[in-house]
Amino acid sequence: MAQLHKKFSDNQIKELIGRYLEGKIKRSNIQKVLGIGKTRFFALVKTYRQDPLMFSIEYTRKNATNKIPLEVEENIMTELAVEKKLITDPDIPLRSYNYSYIRDRLSLVYGQKVSLSTVISRAKTSGYYLKKKEKAAHDREVLTNYVGEIVQHDSSHHKFSPYADTKWYLITSLDDFSRYILYANLVERETSWAHIQALEAVILKYGLAATYYVDSHSIFRFVQGRDSFWRKHYSLTDEVDPQWKQVLSELNVNIAYALSPQAKGKIERPYRWIQDRIVRTCAREGINDIKDAQKILRKEISRYNYKQVHSTTGEVPYLRFQRALKQKVSLFREFNLIAPYKSTKDIFALRLNRTIDAYRKISISNLEIKLNGSPRDIVNVRIYPLNTQISELRFWCNSQLIDIKKIKNSDLKIVHF
């Protein structure tokens, strides 16, 4: 918009508008002289008509001010002080200020709209600012062409709240193409069963992905020399399948392994985003129980999936995911029970083999269980924990379900529960 007050006096503008109103000069000529558009021109005409004697182009300028209410200033400083306390706590996985989080919190919690630049300005003038470290370049390109082509799966172990006595694990599954988070859950212990539950939740809701992409954690991959005490020279990497891998192998889902943390970059960035906000909110709300932290997690996942425009795709993850499904740009396969199994409990389960003895019994962790099978038959036991107390054991022999029993978890003593 032209700075008229620097080029023309009030009297000059008044004369031009007066001649226009008298029909002595065309509007287009005045606009050309003043260097303004039609909207600005008619705004000046309107002001002139309201009071020709008091007309001044100074009146058309708005005296902007950077002042914000004192209450808002105080809330910004309070939030910045909390940020500093979290950053300086060595047990909390935060090492930088998150001004976007403060802006969002002021809006959601206090109902106060503040620009990000205002928050950053107050932070710099008050000593709540850390220079950002230079980050190594990384490939942010989406390498997949379909939803369900690759599901990135991982866990993160941190102290998510300064008020919690222990660290928790965040288990997450993310669709690579859409960046939509399919599953997220906080658990106190990272076990094979916790990761199998994640598989069950995703597969029953969305179907079978083409590939799961994970790191080389022992839950996902057996590595000789790392995962055993006694090295057998005939036993190499991948010859012993972990429980989690057995589930996907039975479902004909491929598994790809990242050989470095850098290769896991796509899922690490959403992890950091979610983790960052969970920690900050848990700290401000005094959360010390994992159930309450789970509620906060659900809110942040909802924000990420349904509201946040992803910096790489330029789209909201849920909208990108749903559009791909509608356009049939998907490699998800419908889940169906595999013959001869009769329940999802036969698929998403812990597994072990036992041989029935002469007394028609098998032994699990010194617990003897009598079965309906024949002596010397090999039984495949599918163990499905119903809760923290009891598991359902389903006994399969020669493609037949020969028995079902419920056993206390304490009696089973399975290491990977």
Q: Is the CB of residue 76 less than 8 Å from the CB of residue 122?
A: yes
pLDDT over threshold 80, residue 129: yes
pLDDT-based confidence at residue 377 (cuts at 50, 70, 90) = very high
pLDDT over threshold 90, residue 230: no
Question: Of 10-14, 83-87, 126-130, 284-288, which range is least confident?
Answer: 10-14
Portion of the chain with pLDDT greater than 90, in percent = 57
Please name the CATH architecture into which domain 151-326 falls. Answer: 2-Layer Sandwich (3.30)
Residues 248-257: what's their mean pLDDT? 95
pLDDT-based confidence at residue 388 (cuts at 50, 70, 90) = confident
Bridge-based pairing state of the strands 378-385 and 390-397 = antiparallel
For every residue of 269-287, DSSP letters joined together read HHHHHHHHHHHHHHHHTT-
For every residue of 162-196, DSSP letters joined together read TT-SS-EEEEEEEETTT--EEEEEEESS--HHHHH
pTM: 0.75
Condensed to tens digits (0 to 9), the pLDDT of residues 51-87 reads 888 888 774 444 444 578 999 999 999 999 999 999 9
Q: Which residues, listed in sequence order, are joined to residue 45 by a DSSP beta bridge?
A: none
Q: Cα 43–48–52 angle (5° rounding)? A: 170
Domain borders along the chain are 4-60, 70-125, 151-326, 344-412
Q: Say what the pLDDT of residue 416 is.
A: 46
